[in-house]
Structure formats: C-alpha cells, structure tokens
Amino acid sequence: MNINLNEPCRWLSDSTNAENEIRLIFYNHWEKLKDRLMAGVSEINAWRQRLLDEINNYANEQIRVLAEDYERQRISLDVKREENLDTTRAYCGIQSVVLFTELRNACQSIEFQVAQLESINTTLQAIKVITISEQIERNKLEKIDTTKSDNDQNKPIIEHTNDINDHTGESRDQHIKLASSITIETASHSLTPESSNIDSQAINDSNKSTENILNSDDSINKCPICCMIFPIKMKHDDRSRHTNEHCTDD
C-alpha cells in the first residue's frame, strides 16, 4: 500500500516571518504524525512477520508428521508386497491358476488407513487499528458508563439515609409513648394512698364527690385524679370505677 509521505511546505521566501512560523509549527505536527504512522506500520509488519514465521513453523511441523506417517505406511506396504510375491512364486511353481487368482483378488482388496487433515480453531493474537472516530465513540460510552455507575452508587446511600430517618422517627415515637406511659404511671402511683390509717369517712366523702362529678356531666372525658384521658368507647360506669380505684385502700 502506497502512503503519501510528501512533506508539507514549512518555509516560503515570499512569506512573512509570522506565516513561516505557523508553517513550521504545522510541519512539526506533521512530523510527529508521520513518526507515529511509521511506528505503527513497523509494529504491524513485525506482527505479520512473526505470525508468518509461526505459520511456517507450524506448517513445517505438520508436514513432518505427515511424512513420518507416510513412511510407516510405506514400510508396512513393502512388507506385504514381498510376502505376497513369495506366495505368488509358490503358486506359479505348482502352476495353480486358481490359487493365484484368489491371491491377486486378495491383494487388490487390501485396505489401509492414511493420515487425515482437519481444521482446528486456534487463538490468534492480532493487532487492530483503532481509528480516531472509534476512540471518540469509546470515550463517549465510557463517560455514559461512569455516570451510570455513579448514579447506582448514590442511590443506595439515599435509600439508606431514608431508612435511618424512618427508624429515627419510629424511635422518637416510641420514646414519646414511653414517656407518656411513665408520666401517667408515676402520677397514678403518687396519688395512691400508702397508709391504711386514712379516715374511712374521708374516703367515702371523696367517692361521693367523685361520683357527683361524673354524674353531673356525662361528657367528662378525663380522670379528675390522675388526669388520664378516657377512651371515647369507655362507658360511664367504667370511668367511675377507674376514678374510685384511686381512693380504694390497698
């Protein structure tokens, strides 16, 4: 293949120094481009020669194997020939046409194997030229793959953060519920009488007072002792029983 290696103009006498300077810059670029071309051509030619040498060596080896196999078959065939010649002489000596005819037919029907050739798949390390347009396309694909990989890596982090926030919210709700429970329970214990010497009349008066409060307003929804908010479905009798339990002796 003929490659255009004609040198570009790098200096003209009728041009300005600025123009010749630009020409020289591009001439240097051309020299670098030419050097890379020649280096690539040399590498390809070296690969081709190396491959040709490998092919020649392999072909010569296969020819040697084929010749050796032929030689073994040739020796075996020569031995059979001499054996049948001796037999032929014997039959001719007794003038037996029938036996000779049988011997001749047997010699003609002799079968023997020969070496065979077959195609095999081998690994060939080849050189491929990657053009500039192919390099640009590869760079685009690599950038797309890199962007996709970054997005895939960021997605689990966001999801993990959301999981942490969700768990934190659940934990916060649990703390609130626990604190409310402790407050109610503490208030309940603090208001429970600890002594059995409290005047029974005072207890009865308290019970009557509580009953009067509950009976006076059916819409009451909070215990007047522990301030617990009654559930909406809790009946009036159950609310009264709850309030009276605060004033019951242990």
Task: Check whether 58 has a pLDDT greater than 70.
Answer: yes
Which residues fall within 8 angstroms of residue 129, CB to CB, at 6 or more apart? 40
Which of 3, 144, 120, 137 lies closest to 62, judged by CA?
A: 120
Q: What confidence score (pLDDT) does residue 183 get?
A: 41
| CA 119/CA 115 separation, integer angstroms | 14
Please tell me the pTM assigned to this model.
Answer: 0.48
Q: What confidence score (pLDDT) does residue 111 get?
A: 86
Task: Check whether 78 has a pLDDT greater than 90.
Answer: yes
Domain assignments of the chain as residue spans, ordered by start: 8-113, 162-192, 202-250
Mean pLDDT of the chain: 77
Report the residue count for the chain. Answer: 250
Task: Give the whole-number percent of the chain exceeding pLDDT 70.
Answer: 71
User: Is residue 156 very low, low, confident or very high in pLDDT (cuts 50, 70, 90)?
Assistant: low
Per DSSP, helices labelled H in 94-131 are 97-108
Q: Please identify which residue in the block is written with the tokens 């003209």.
A: 12
